[in-house]
Structure 1
Amino acid sequence: MFQVGDYIIYGMNGVCVVENIGEIETKVVPKDRLYYTLRPYYSDRSTIFTPTDNLKVKMRSILTKDEAVSILNNIHNIDCSWDIDEKIREMEYKEAIRQCDCKQLLKIVKSLYFSRKAKLADGKKVPARDEKYYHMAEDSLYGELAVSLGLEIEETKELVLSKIEDLA
């Protein structure tokens, strides 16, 4: 169970701060069930209430600074994957994003970075579907790494992309 003040990943909402743990006082919610009150880290405009025993949405602690540094230092070991079948590729992307796994998100960013670069160099367009998942993976990845590393998102993006470019 998470504690008040913990930074966690809450599904597609990304990094959230646990603000409270307890019952919710409404007529429609059972009184004997505990809920997390979450505030998305990058948005002060919303609050999320979710049961502490929620199994539908992926919830986990954010990476520690050491784990984030390790992932970045081992970026060369993360394989690029590229399935020619767009539907299969999209299913892989959806699952990786749903799982909120930084290594899988980095795999998407790295794979699509090189694919985009090659397509643009050949004067071809990047498929909209690939652009969509590239940006979704970037948002999730950079948001978590930024908090773990104590950086701004833009600094994190520059750091990740410089490490990817060093591989070329």
Structure 2
Amino acid sequence: MKGVITMFQVGDYIIYGSNGVCKVEEIGPIKIGGVLSKKEYYFLLPIYVKGTMVYTPVDSEKTVMRPIISKKAAHELISQIDQIEPINELEDREREFVYRKLMKTYDCKELIKIIKTISIRKKIREEEGKKLIATDEKYLNLAKDCVLGELSIPLQMKREEVEEFILQKID
């Protein structure tokens, strides 16, 4: 289609909302009901969800769609983890609201705030002989999946290796 400017190219790794890291496999119209669409679409292959393909208009603004963090930015972020402040909201409901808000940014620095906050809470609760509450467990896993998945690509590491690397910085 003439005149459509695409932000990403085939082969690019991007963040596409809750799908996380996706690779742009193709750009072009899709068949809807046997008819080619007039719009251009990204054909996105989620890296950590096997057997799925995501289709989204190239001009979509409904979902966060951005390039993944660069290798340089990943190293800078990791070197600054100890300076990232945890979330200080005390009430569970208020903290959950902040978790939800930060999760929707899909920004590594904001997600590290969640991970750091919950890691601290987990340590305190374990010292008290208590388990982490389900809400904290849920958001810890969601934030870790997003951050580790994204950082693993530019760092050329497995997610588990990135996790060990980050946890050393948090502790």
TM tier, smaller: over 0.9
* Structure 1 residues not aligned, in runs of 5+: none
Q: In structure 1, what is the equivalent of residue 98 of structure 2? A: 92
For residues 127 and 82 of structure 1, the distance between their equivalents in structure 2, rounded to whole angstroms, comes to 17
8 A contact 1:15–1:143 mirrored in 2:
yes
Does 1:79 find its partner at 2:85?
yes
For residues 141 and 24 of structure 1, the distance between their equivalents in structure 2, rounded to whole angstroms, comes to 31
Does 1:49 find its partner at 2:55?
yes
How many angstroms does 1:92 deviate by? 1.1
Taking the TM superposition and a 5 Å limit, the aligned residue runs for 1:1-168 are 1-27=7-33, 31-165=37-171
Residue-pair matches, total:
165
Q: What percentage of aligned pairs have identical amino acids? A: 41
SS class of match (1:4):
coil
For residues 92 and 98 of structure 2, the distance between their equivalents in structure 1, rounded to whole angstroms, comes to 10
Deviation digits for residues 107-147 of structure 1 (CA, Å, limit 9, x no counterpart): 11011101101110111221110110011000101000111
The structure-2 alpha-carbon separation of the partners of 1:145 and 1:124, relative to structure 1 and needing over 3 Å to count, comes to: same
Task: Tell me the TM-score normalized by structure 1.
Answer: 0.94
Deviation digits for residues 61-85 of structure 1 (CA, Å, limit 9, x no counterpart): 0000000000000112100113112
What RMSD, in angstroms, separates the aligned Cα atoms of the two structures?
1.3
How many angstroms does 1:87 deviate by? 1.6
* Structure 2 residues not aligned, in runs of 5+: 1-6
The structure-2 alpha-carbon separation of the partners of 1:29 and 1:70, relative to structure 1 and needing over 3 Å to count, comes to: farther
SS class of match (1:114):
helix
Deviation digits for residues 35-88 of structure 1 (CA, Å, limit 9, x no counterpart): 000001123300000111111110000000000000000112100113112122
For residues 135 and 32 of structure 2, the distance between their equivalents in structure 1, rounded to whole angstroms, comes to 41
Off by >4 Å, runs of 4+ in structure 1: none
